[in-house]
Amino acid sequence: MLPPPDPASDPTPSGADRMRAVAKYSGIAFQMLATIGLSAWAGIWLDGHFHTKTPWFTIGLMLLGVLVALYQVIRSLTKSA
Amino acid sequence: MKRLLSILFFFLTLPVFAGEPAQSGEAPKAFNAGEVILHHVADSHEWHWFSTDNGNFVSYFPVVAYQPGKGLSVFFSDKIAEGKSYKNFKLDDERLTTLDGSKVYDFSITKNVAALAMSSLVLVLVFASVARGYRRRVGRAPTGLQSFLEPFVVFIRDEVGKKSIGPKYERYMPYLLTVFFFIWFNNLLGLTPGAANLTGNIAVTMMLALLTLVITLFSGNKNYWGHIFAPPGVPWALYIIMVPVELVGIIVKPFSLMVRLFANITAGHIIILSFISLIFIFRSATAGLLSVPFGLFISVLELLVAILQAYIFTLLTAMYIGSAVEDHHETADGAHADDFGTVEQRQGGSNFAHLAQSDVAAH
């Protein structure tokens, strides 16, 4: 017979829930790093492969990586509180 | 205390490479700290226990080399230890190569393979004993090893499995528990003197992350794939951007799992070894006054990191699986409830609803 609990207004989340939130959000941070790192690596590889004079692949993919990482953060924040 | 723990927890989930400056090795004559540390952290074809003035105490393992066209060669690694070469084989910086430069595939039993076999044996023995306990004492209080491990199993089930995956959690409990105890036990075993750095090996963490990826992909339901290939509430013209972004997300999640575990465990080992190396770099006993307490502090911290990293890996795995198996949520008017901006339900974090439905009813 509990009313549906609202996590945002729950005054006393248990220790496990707090741990869980910390793990989750630090996980998101790590995911950002991985996204940007992976796209930078892919860009460097592509530049090496095509012998580009100016590293456009690296530049473009890194910027794209930043955008994708931001998108993922926003997504995961709006998905769940 | 809890706040301190969570702050600590946050920093420990970042990859720490603070140990690296100590690698410069400015000793007058060649105590190369970087080399020693990397040698300790990396895999090798022999198990170097310790050295005294009377020599090195080393165990050698079978080398299994396959050369295309020439077949298999099996021999013990003492034949190629310390720069020796044997039958066209030699070790080049722990990489098995041939003298004439021909291709060779290395399937050797290395230090990590041996450590993996041993820790698997330990895990099987421990959990066989726990399982026997449950069979023998049905409905009665657990004792011994069983009562030590039961809280962890219950914690993973209730706090990780049920809350992250929801009603279908039971199918995934064997994997979650295996991964948790595998990482935890191997982290701890890696801290014992002379042991191998198994969970700090990126091949091992890659396999674990791949298993998570495969399980997530195979348990993905219509709702999960729908969100990837046809995100609801998004104009179709944007699919050309959204779909690749979502696909990148699938790869990046297990990739970050792999890197996180590898980086944390390896960084911990590097820091401890760096503190100990300070004694040899400064060649003075007074350096020990600083480096031993710090080394001890980090070692004790690593005991905490061992279980923390196991927990994080298991929790994030459960969250990824949870996002793949969750059911389609529809509001009363039949519209999608999970467009951008909806707060409740959805993966991870917020599954208090499950708590209210299942747990409270059960207890």
Of B117, B249, B214, which Cα lies nearest the Cα of A34?
A: B249
- Reference B115, options B219, B226, B203, B37; nearest CA is B203
Residues 6 or more apart whose Cβ sits within 8 Å of residue B277: B22, B31, B33, B36, B37
Q: What is the pLDDT of residue B20?
A: 41
Interface touch A72/B249, C-beta < 8 Å: yes
Q: Does residue A1 fall inside a structural domain?
A: no
Instruction: Tell me the C-alpha distance between B325 and B105, whole Å.
Output: 40
Q: Which residues on chain A are in Cβ contact (under 8 Å) with B343?
A: 8, 78, 80-81
- Among candidates A7, A31, A71 on the partner chain, residue whose Cβ is nearest the Cβ of B256: A31
Q: For chain A, what's the residue count?
A: 81
Residue B198 carries which DSSP code? -
Q: What pLDDT score does B3 carry?
A: 57
Same domain, B66 and B134: no
Same domain for B78 and B196? no
ipTM, 2 dp:
0.73
φ and ψ of B99, to 5 deg: -65, -40
Whether residue B96 is found in the same domain as residue B117: no
B353 → closest Cβ in A4, A37, A68: A4
Question: Among partner residues A23, A24, A78, which is closest to B340 by beta-carbon distance?
Answer: A78
Q: Give yes or no for B260 touching A (CB within 8 A).
A: yes
> Nearest residue on chain A to B5, judged by CA atoms?
A19
What is the reported pLDDT for B343?
A: 41
Interface of B with A in 264-323 (CB under 8 A): 311-312, 315-316, 319
Q: Does B224 share its domain with B347?
A: yes
pLDDT confidence band for B312 (50 / 70 / 90): very high
Percent of chain B surpassing pLDDT 70:
82
pTM of the model: 0.78
- Neighbouring C-beta atoms of residue B228, cutoff 10 Å: 15
Distance between CA atoms of residues B122 and B127, nearest Å? 9
Q: How many distinct structural domains can be found in chain A?
A: 1
Q: CA torsion angle for B112, B114, B117, B119 (degrees, to 10)?
A: -70
What one-letter code names the amino acid at A43? Answer: G
Determine, yes or no, domain membership for B29: no
User: Is residue B92 domain-shared with residue B151, that is, in the same domain?
Assistant: no
Q: Is residue A66 part of a domain?
A: yes
Query: Hey, are the CB atoms on B14 and A38 less than 8 Å from each other?
Result: no
Look at chain B and report how many structural domains it folds into: 2
CB-CB under 8 Å, B312 with A72 = no
Residue A3 to chain B, least CA–CA distance (Å):
9
- The mean pLDDT of B208-222, rounded to a whole number, is 92
B136 and B278 fall within a common domain: yes
Does A24 contact B13 at a Cβ distance shorter than 8 Å?
Answer: no
| Residue B85, helix vs strand vs coil | strand
User: Is the residue at B92 inside a domain?
Assistant: yes
What pLDDT score does A27 carry? 82
pLDDT digits 0-9 by tens, A17-31: 888 888 888 888 888
Whether B315 and A24 lie within 8 Å, measured CB to CB: yes
Please report whether residue A59 resides in a domain.
yes
Average pLDDT over residues B217-231: 86
- Shortest alpha-carbon distance between residue A4 and chain B (Å): 7
Find, in chain A, the residue whose alpha carbon is nearest to that of B14.
A30
Q: Does residue B259 lie within any of the structural domains?
A: yes
Q: Most B CBs within 10 Å: which of A10, A14, A20, as the mutation test of the B interface?
A: A20
Q: CB contact, 8 Å: B252 with chain A? A: yes
Distance CA B119, CA B114 (A): 9
Domain boundary among B67, B92, B109: B109
Q: Tens of pLDDT along A33-78?
A: 889 999 999 999 999 999 888 889 999 999 999 999 998 888 888 7
- Best of B352, B358, B363 to mutate (most A CBs within 10 Å, chain A): B352
Do B203 and B308 sit in the same domain of this protein?
Answer: yes
Q: Containing domain of residue A52, as a range?
A: 30-81
DSSP state of B355: I
**Residues whose CB is less than 8 angstroms from the CB of residue B135 and which lie 6 or more positions away in sequence, other chains included:** none
**Structural domain that includes position B164:** 111-329+337-362
